[in-house]
């Protein structure tokens, strides 16, 4: 939803999803001045370090071509061989500089926002042919800023170039009196020095342009409050739907829990507010586990299922509260309650040994008050 359609201002910072979507579309912060600065610095360093090697290669190619015998000039095979040799000599001499420039041109855009290749940006878009859109870009804030930057760069670089020419005029004029090899090497050094000075000026421009590009990129990707809400619904789902899903998940978990109640060995109650169902198989379990627990209505349902399936129900308020608060569902009871639960299970096994216990049991909770509960596990409510 665009800001102009809703009347809302873009006051919210871009979310990670919006930043990722923009990156996939090729919308990332870029500074052409930073790219130019890196390339100029690389060119200046390359000329100053590799200038002698390049001029030596060029001189060698010139010697090869200017020292051809008259008889060889009229021989096509000799001319082709000479062309091949001189070309390979020049390429070998210039190859390190060319490689350096390619590396600089490729790595410079990665300095600000990393490398991003997007085929969609290469596609044809009809809206780019709209003259009104072009005029908006030219006379809009972005276009005016680019115009101001271009004028500032022209003035600053022009002043630096005039300063360089004025101070190096004697060196350039003296090249004519130097031998050709030394003059060519000297030219490479002078050009490298000029590039280095201009690059230093471009560094100042880049130091201004990089923060501006980062700020402008962040401003362009800002979102309205409605866009933020819509994206939240798309990524995390509608809150109402999520609430219904959570409700269904709770119902399913409760049904699974209730299905475990008939398998319990005993249900310990409060007697009305809490109910905790325990199961213990000495052959398979090291300690008893809680297979169901609940409060109020849930406790009543656990007791009702226990009565239906003739699971012994004991009333021990302190133990029921301690088990409910200290033990998660399908987890073993804490070590502090081993003794109390052992007494309960022993009492249950004694009840089951009585003759006609299953037939006579009516589901009434049997009071069992005297069980040891550690102070740290006691709960009043």
pLDDT band at 5 (very low <50, low <70, confident <90, very high): very low
Question: pTM of the prediction?
Answer: 0.47
Tokens of 338: 């081993």
Give tens-digit pLDDT for 272-325: 789 999 999 888 888 899 999 998 888 999 989 988 888 888 888 888 888 988
Residue 206: which of 33, 27, 29 has the closest Cα? Answer: 33
Q: How many CB atoms lie within 10 A of CB 208?
A: 13
Give tens-digit pLDDT for 219-235: 878 887 777 777 776 66
pLDDT score, position 117: 61
pLDDT score, position 44: 79
Flag the least confident range among 3-17, 237-251, 272-286, 304-318.
3-17
pLDDT score, position 358: 55
**In terms of DSSP H, where are the helices of the chain?**
3-6, 16-24, 32-66, 70-73, 76-107, 110-113, 131-139, 141-173, 180-220, 225-236, 239-260, 297-308, 317-326, 338-353, 357-360
Strand partners, 294: 275
- Average pLDDT of the chain is 78
Percentage of residues in the chain having pLDDT higher than 90: 3
In whole angstroms, how far apart are CA 196 and each of 184, 186, 344? 18, 15, 89
> Whole-angstrom distance between the N-terminal and C-terminal Cα of the chain?
51
pLDDT score, position 2: 44
Tokens of 227: 């866009």
Give tens-digit pLDDT for 127-158: 566 666 666 666 666 677 777 878 888 888 88
At 365, phi and psi to the nearest 5? -60, 135
Long-range CB pairs of 354-360 (<8 Å, 24+ gap) are 358/310
In whole angstroms, how far apart are CA 247 and each of 73, 230, 318? 94, 23, 31
Taking residues 263-275, report their average pLDDT: 87
Flag the least confident range among 65-74, 126-135, 262-271.
126-135
pLDDT score, position 293: 92
Tokens of 298: 């849930």
pLDDT score, position 278: 93
Is the confidence at residue 123, as pLDDT, over 70?
A: no
pLDDT score, position 276: 92
Question: Domains along the chain?
Answer: 24-115+126-222 (no CATH), 260-377 (3.40.1690.10)
The more confidently predicted of residues 258 and 196 is 258
Contact 1, 226 (CB under 8 A): yes
Q: What angle do CA 367, 371, 376 make, to 5 degrees?
A: 130
Percentage of residues in the chain having pLDDT higher than 70: 82
Give tens-digit pLDDT for 344-354: 888 888 877 76
In the block, tokens 């060319």 appear at 98
Taking residues 322-330, report their average pLDDT: 89
Give tens-digit pLDDT for 87-119: 888 888 888 888 988 888 888 777 776 666 655
The more confidently predicted of residues 357 and 380 is 380
């Amino acid at each position: 939803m665009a800001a102009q359609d809703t009347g809302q201002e873009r006051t919210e910072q871009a979310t990670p999803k919006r930043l990722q979507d923009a990156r996939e579309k090729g919308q990332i912060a870029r500074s052409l001045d930073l790219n130019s600065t890196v390339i100029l610095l690389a060119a200046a360093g390359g000329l100053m370090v590799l200038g002698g090697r390049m001029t030596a290669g060029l001189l060698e190619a010139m010697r090869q071509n200017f020292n051809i015998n008259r008889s060889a000039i009229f021989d096509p095979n000799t001319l082709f061989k000479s062309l091949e040799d001189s070309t390979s000599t020049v390429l070998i001499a210039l190859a390190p500089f060319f490689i350096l420039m390619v590396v600089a041109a490729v790595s410079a855009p990665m300095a600000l926002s990393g490398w991003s290749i997007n085929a969609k940006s290469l596609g044809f878009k009809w809206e780019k042919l709209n003259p009104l859109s072009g005029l908006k870009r030219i006379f809009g804030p972005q276009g005016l800023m680019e115009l101001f930057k271009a004028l500032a760069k022209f003035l600053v670089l022009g002043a630096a170039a005039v300063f360089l020419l004025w101070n190096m005029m004697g060196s350039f004029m003296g090249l004519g009196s130097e031998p050709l090899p030394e003059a060519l090497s000297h030219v490479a050094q002078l050009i490298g020095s000029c590039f280095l000075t201009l690059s230093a000026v471009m560094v100042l421009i880049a130091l201004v342009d990089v923060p501006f590009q980062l700020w402008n990129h962040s401003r362009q990707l800002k979102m309205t409050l409605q866009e933020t809400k819509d994206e939240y619904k798309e990524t995390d789902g509608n809150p109402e739907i999520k609430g219904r899903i959570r409700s269904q998940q709770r119902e399913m978990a409760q049904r699974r829990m209730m299905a475990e109640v008939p398998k319990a060995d005993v249900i310990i109650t409060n007697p009305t507010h809490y109910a905790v169902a325990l199961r213990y198989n000495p052959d398979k379990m090291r300690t008893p586990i809680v297979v169901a627990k609940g409060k109020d209505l849930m406790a009543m349902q656990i007791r009702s299922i226990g009565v239906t399936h003739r699971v012994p129900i004991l009333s021990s308020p302190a133990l029921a509260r301690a088990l409910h608060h200290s033990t998660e569902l399908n987890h073993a009871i804490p070590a502090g309650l081993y003794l109390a639960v052992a007494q309960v299970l022993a009492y249950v096994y004694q009840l089951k040994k009585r003759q006609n216990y299953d037939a006579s049991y009516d589901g009434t909770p049997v009071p069992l008050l005297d069980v040891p509960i550690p102070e740290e596990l006691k709960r009043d409510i």
